[in-house]
Amino acid sequence: MKHQPPPPPLPLSQPPSMGATVAGGVASVISTMNGNSSSGIEAVKCRPPIYPKPKTPSFDKDRDYIGFATLPEQVHRKSVKRGFEFTLMVVGESGLGKSTLINSLFLGDLYKNRQMPNVEERIEKTTKVEKKTMDIEERGVRLRLTVVDTPGFGDAINCEDSWRVCTQYIDEQFRQYFTDESGLNRRNIQDNRVHCCLYFVPPWGHSLRQMDLDLIRRLHRKVNIVLVIGKADCLNKQEVRKLKERILQDLEDNHIQLYQFPECDSDEDDDFKQQDRELKASIPFAVVGSNTILEVAGKKVRGRQYPWGVVNVEDPEHSDFIKLRTFLISTHMQDLKDTTQDVHYENFRAQCISQISQHALRERGKLKRDSISSTNGFDAAISETDRLLLQKDEEIRRMQDMLTQMQEKLKQTHLMEMKKNDSVIDV
Amino acid sequence: MKHQPPPPPLPLSQPPSMGATVAGGVASVISTMNGNSSSGIEAVKCRPPIYPKPKTPSFDKDRDYIGFATLPEQVHRKSVKRGFEFTLMVVGESGLGKSTLINSLFLGDLYKNRQMPNVEERIEKTTKVEKKTMDIEERGVRLRLTVVDTPGFGDAINCEDSWRVCTQYIDEQFRQYFTDESGLNRRNIQDNRVHCCLYFVPPWGHSLRQMDLDLIRRLHRKVNIVLVIGKADCLNKQEVRKLKERILQDLEDNHIQLYQFPECDSDEDDDFKQQDRELKASIPFAVVGSNTILEVAGKKVRGRQYPWGVVNVEDPEHSDFIKLRTFLISTHMQDLKDTTQDVHYENFRAQCISQISQHALRERGKLKRDSISSTNGFDAAISETDRLLLQKDEEIRRMQDMLTQMQEKLKQTHLMEMKKNDSVIDV
């Protein structure tokens, strides 16, 4: 008997025939309904993420089996029980469809109560971070998604502060994690580190602007940057291709390294390699978002209605939206987290440790000098222990908060349960 | 379309009919060949590890799918690529079949070149740790298995050193990990921490001996101890039952807590719960090992040939070998690792940190005393802050326990609720 690897869950929104339900290019709804569409290629490109099968060596004899091949399943089970956390930062000037795209990606309503600032407010306001968290569940898998938005970016006249707000936010999360990880209560650490930064480039420029380059240069060693060309439905295919080429050239010329796709193992199967190549080749992703559901050929699609046709967000011929979603969520989300942990956070941590030890050395030097000249080093020692005590007080306060939150949650759950029981009885 | 969870890989050595191929009790090979065996019950008990299916909520609409339900699969894949490490410590006096059992468990030849020490050597030699590592692969899953053996244990006249050797080894690995984890190159840390200690109890005693209790008491807060009654084929069923009862009573009387099976979630399916109950009920496992392959009823089995019959190591009616192997390798290996990390290592780490800060305080105090030659009040101040710091550490530890408890409670409530919802839908 052979062990079958976990089958790849197919994204329900992407049955293989999906690409054909809406016509590519400027074809109208009517022509689509008549089946007048170029199906084949899109259908293939539009396929769900592929997980190649792990190797399944055959065993000659029954007794060659020990049993540890279940280890990945043990890990799988545990991860489901624990749940996942992911933080996405969205950077780019107003009007590039950031919020719409996020809502399209996560089918959420994160920005439903948003009020558009008027021009005066926009000119006044500085770049300010806005953080939204939602707990979502899909097929028994729980995800705590945090979206960090920088809504005023580019609106204020002084753009130089923009990068400071972003880097400060990223560093703060790293610092918090560093404190938590160095503390004694490590089992309940919340990971608020930014795992990915979607950087929106406007479609109307000829390439990256100096402002973009400045910001990206300041971020690329701190966070996984993924470039996205927003509102790409104002560019035709050729224009998209050209813009992508220029952007990649700019990045190369400026020695900027965005998030690197991990190398595809040579033993992966061909479909997976092909999908990987396609994803890589699409960078930077040219996307169109929409929260409007249109009915096209009897199917409901997220789209944008123009007098000359319907842009179907999920049609790979129309935009890279599905590729971005596949990459960001279905295939590389864990790698983005791992890269954050192994590369970006470790860099930050190394800097921290180096600063701390330099500080300690200076402190010791001071004390020694003091003790030799028998002056007052007492203050320094007290302030050091003071700092330690304050740190611990801070940790205790944090834990108290957590306890209160959990108590509240427990109470809520209890109440909900009681209520539910009531309603069940009512029925 | 519903997503199927990864199917549980069935241990090839355990087809459902296996239990029936060799007769239980004193039945001879011939009688077995005539099919004269009590099949049914064994076949059920002998089944492979069961993984209940994760919940697969159904989606009403195609577009309700985001894609992050693949996260556990992403983790699964990464774990396979990375490979696994596991360290097993084997403790017990000579002659209890430790090496044979390890070879039976891992189908290895770890001890093929072993030379038996003669009596004089045995009396002379102290308990010495012997470490063997093998890289094994099964169905594409790689495991670096380390077995830490304490071969002379109990042979030397001075038994008091025995526990010291074991605890020292465990602490050394923890210390190494602590150093590595505090360093700058954390991506390639080798985890040599002892994840499980198989403690062999002789079958010929009436319960645990003072020596056993002493050793277990010294180890149980440092490592996951799993008790095993060695060479259990010299005990009949009633004797095994009695010995197990006495051992459990002894442990309770001495407030010793061995490795605790994690609570089975209330939403697991019934087969899994049943298997879990059976594993728990079998502790301490009474085992028989053998590296001799006998042919019984045309099938090859690991067994021991006696004039009164064949002991089939893998027959659950004959010994708990399969239960031990299922538990240790197929179902709880990852939990043993996680418990080592979250409980035992964290305890060690907390002690380390507390020692370090105390040491730092004393050092500073020394410097300070030199600097303020005038007052004697400084020592008092240092010891006072010392006390405060320790107090706070204690408080943090206590809160940590509370948090863990509440989390557990919350999880249980959540699961119960989910289950209730299910049953409501079923109705």
pLDDT of residue A367: 65
- Chain-wide mean pLDDT for chain B? 76
In the predicted model, what is the mean pLDDT of residues A127-151?
A: 88
Interface pTM, i.e. ipTM: 0.72
Where b means 16+ CB within 10 Å and e means fewer, B96-111 reads bbbbbbbbbbbebebb
The answer to whether the beta carbons of residues B317 and B46 sit under 8 Å apart is no
Nearest to A370 by CA among B359, B363, B367, B382: B367
Q: Which residue among B105, B141, B368 sits closest to A69, beta carbon to beta carbon?
A: B141
Q: Give chain B positions within 8 Å (CB) of A183.
A: 396
Q: Which residue among B79, B136, B406 sits closest to A410, beta carbon to beta carbon?
A: B406
A84 vs B76: CB contact, 8 Å cut-off? no
Give, in order, the Cα–Cα distances in Å from B221 to each of A195, B168, B197, B339.
36, 13, 12, 11
A265 vs B370: CB contact, 8 Å cut-off? no
Nearest to A23 by CA among A351, A318, A332: A318
Q: Which residue of B has its CA nearest to A141?
A: B69
A76 vs B77: CB contact, 8 Å cut-off? no
In the predicted model, what is the mean pLDDT of residues B75-84?
A: 93
pLDDT of residue B19: 32
Q: Give chain A positions within 8 Å (CB) of B69.
A: 9, 138-141
B69 vs A139: CB contact, 8 Å cut-off? yes
Shortest Cα distance, chain A CAs vs residue B246, angstroms: 31
Does pTM top 0.80 for this prediction?
no
Q: Which residue among A8, A51, A342 sits closest to B187, beta carbon to beta carbon?
A: A342
Amino acid (one-letter) located at B351: Q
Q: Give chain A positions within 8 Å (CB) of B348.
A: none
pLDDT of residue B56: 34
Query: Cβ-count burial of B307 within 10 angstroms (0-12 exposed, 13-18 middle, 19+ buried)?
Result: exposed
Q: How many CA atoms lie within 13 A of B52 on its CB side?
A: 20
Least-confidence region, from A216-225, B68-77, B160-169, B403-412: B403-412
pLDDT of residue B13: 35
Q: Give chain B positions within 8 Å (CB) of A335.
A: 74, 78
pLDDT tens readout for residues B214-229: 889 999 999 999 999 9
Which of A46, A59, A75 should be substituted to probe chain B, the one whose Cβ sees the most B Cβ atoms within 10 Å? A75
Q: Which residue of A has its CA nearest to B58?
A: A139
A9 vs B3: CB contact, 8 Å cut-off? yes
Contacts 24+ apart (CB under 8 A), A257-260: A257/A220, A258/A216, A258/A220, A258/A224, A258/A225, A258/A226, A258/A227, A258/A283, A259/A196, A259/A224, A259/A225, A259/A226, A259/A336, A259/A339
Q: Chain-centre distance of CA A252, in angstroms?
A: 24
H helix runs in A142-197, sequence order: 160-182
Q: Which residue of B has its CA nearest to A86?
A: B68
Sheet of A309-312, strands arranged across: A293-296, A299-306, A309-312
Query: Which residues touch B376 (CB under 8 Å, ≥6 apart)?
Result: none
Query: What confidence tier does A291 reach under pLDDT thresholds 50, 70, 90?
Result: confident
Instruction: Output the six-digit token pair for B113.
Output: 């070149």
B69 vs A353: CB contact, 8 Å cut-off? no
Mapped onto helix, strand or coil, the DSSP state of residue B116 is coil
| A10 or B87: which leads in pLDDT | B87
Size of chain B in residues: 427
Q: Which residue of A has its CA nearest to B370?
A: A371
Shortest Cα distance, chain A CAs vs residue B79, angstroms: 6
Which of A46, A59, A63 should be substituted to probe chain B, the one whose Cβ sees the most B Cβ atoms within 10 Å? A63
Q: Give chain B positions within 8 Å (CB) of A377.
A: 367-368, 371-372
Least-confidence region, from A132-141, A273-282, A407-416: A407-416
Q: Is it the case that residue B51 has pLDDT exceeding 90?
A: no
A367 vs B364: CB contact, 8 Å cut-off? yes
Q: Which residue among B5, B12, B61 sits closest to A64, beta carbon to beta carbon?
A: B12
B140 vs A265: CB contact, 8 Å cut-off? no
B1 vs A11: CB contact, 8 Å cut-off? no
pLDDT tens readout for residues B91-133: 988 888 888 899 889 887 656 655 555 555 544 555 578 899 9
DSSP A222: T
Q: Give chain A positions within 8 Å (CB) of B261.
A: none
Query: Which residues touch A401 (CB under 8 Å, ≥6 apart)?
Result: none
pLDDT of residue B285: 95
Q: Which residue of A has its CA nearest to B423?
A: A424
Question: What's the CA dihedral at A290, A88, A407, A189 to 10 degrees?
Answer: 160
In the predicted model, what is the mean pLDDT of residues A31-35?
A: 30
The answer to whether the beta carbons of residues B422 and A423 sit under 8 Å apart is no
Shortest Cα distance, chain A CAs vs residue B120, angstroms: 37
- Continuous segment of H or E residues that includes residue A109: none
Q: Which residue among A51, A136, A293 sits closest to B77, beta carbon to beta carbon?
A: A51
pLDDT of residue A115: 59
d(CA B323, CA B316): 8
Q: Give chain B positions within 8 Å (CB) of A4.
A: 7
d(CA A82, CA B76): 14
pLDDT tens readout for residues A41-71: 233 233 445 544 433 333 334 446 788 999 9
pLDDT of residue B384: 58
Q: Which residue of A has its CA nearest to B105?
A: A66
Q: Which residue of A has its CA nearest to B5?
A: A6
Query: What confidence tier does B61 reach under pLDDT thresholds 50, 70, 90?
Result: very low
E runs forming strands in A277-388: 285-286, 293-296, 299-306, 309-312
Q: Is it the case that residue B248 has pLDDT exceeding 70?
A: yes
| B121 or A197: which leads in pLDDT | A197
Q: Which residue among A187, A329, A378 sits closest to B400, beta carbon to beta carbon?
A: A187
The answer to whether the beta carbons of residues A366 and B366 sit under 8 Å apart is no
A73 vs B8: CB contact, 8 Å cut-off? yes
Least-confidence region, from A300-309, A367-376, B399-408: A367-376
Q: Give chain A positions within 8 Å (CB) of B410.
A: 406, 409-410, 413
B70 vs A8: CB contact, 8 Å cut-off? yes
pLDDT of residue B360: 78
Query: What confidence tier does B387 reach under pLDDT thresholds 50, 70, 90?
Result: low
Mapped onto helix, strand or coil, the DSSP state of residue A225 is strand
| B418 or B166: which leads in pLDDT | B166
Q: Which residue among A5, A183, A187 sits closest to B342, beta carbon to beta carbon?
A: A187
d(CA B339, CA B336): 5
pLDDT of residue A111: 61
Q: Which residue of A has its CA nearest to B366?
A: A371
Q: Which residue among A7, A389, A399 sits closest to B403, beta carbon to beta carbon?
A: A399
Q: Give chain B positions within 8 Å (CB) of A77.
A: 51, 54
Q: Which residue among A49, A389, A410 sits closest to B410, beta carbon to beta carbon?
A: A410
In the predicted model, what is the mean pLDDT of residues A305-334?
A: 91
Range from A172-176, A278-282, B162-166, B211-215 that averages highest in pLDDT: A172-176
Query: What confidence tier does A169 reach under pLDDT thresholds 50, 70, 90?
Result: very high
The answer to whether the beta carbons of residues B219 and B166 sit under 8 Å apart is yes
Nearest to B63 by CA among A189, A251, A294: A294
B107 vs A78: CB contact, 8 Å cut-off? no
Q: Give chain A positions within 8 Å (CB) of B64.
A: 12-13, 107
Q: Is it the case that residue B27 has pLDDT exceeding 80?
A: no
pLDDT of residue A362: 79
Shortest Cα distance, chain B CAs vs residue A367, angstroms: 7
A417 vs B414: CB contact, 8 Å cut-off? no
Query: What confidence tier does B46 reach under pLDDT thresholds 50, 70, 90?
Result: very low
B13 vs A186: CB contact, 8 Å cut-off? no
Q: Give chain B positions within 8 Å (CB) of A6.
A: 5-7, 73, 76
The answer to whether the beta carbons of residues A83 and A137 sit under 8 Å apart is no
In the predicted model, what is the mean pLDDT of residues B370-384?
A: 52
d(CA A232, CA A247): 14
Q: Which residue among B138, B409, B424 sits closest to A69, beta carbon to beta carbon?
A: B138
- Continuous segment of H or E residues that includes residue B255: none
DSSP A63: G
Q: Is it the case that residue B62 has pLDDT exceeding 60?
A: no
pLDDT of residue A309: 87
Domain A75-262+271-287+319-357, CATH 3.40.50.300 — does that match? yes
Q: Which residue among A3, A79, A388 sits closest to B75, beta carbon to beta carbon?
A: A79
Instruction: Output the six-digit token pair for B276.
Output: 């879990």
Residue B262 has φ and ψ, to the nearest 5°, of -65, 150
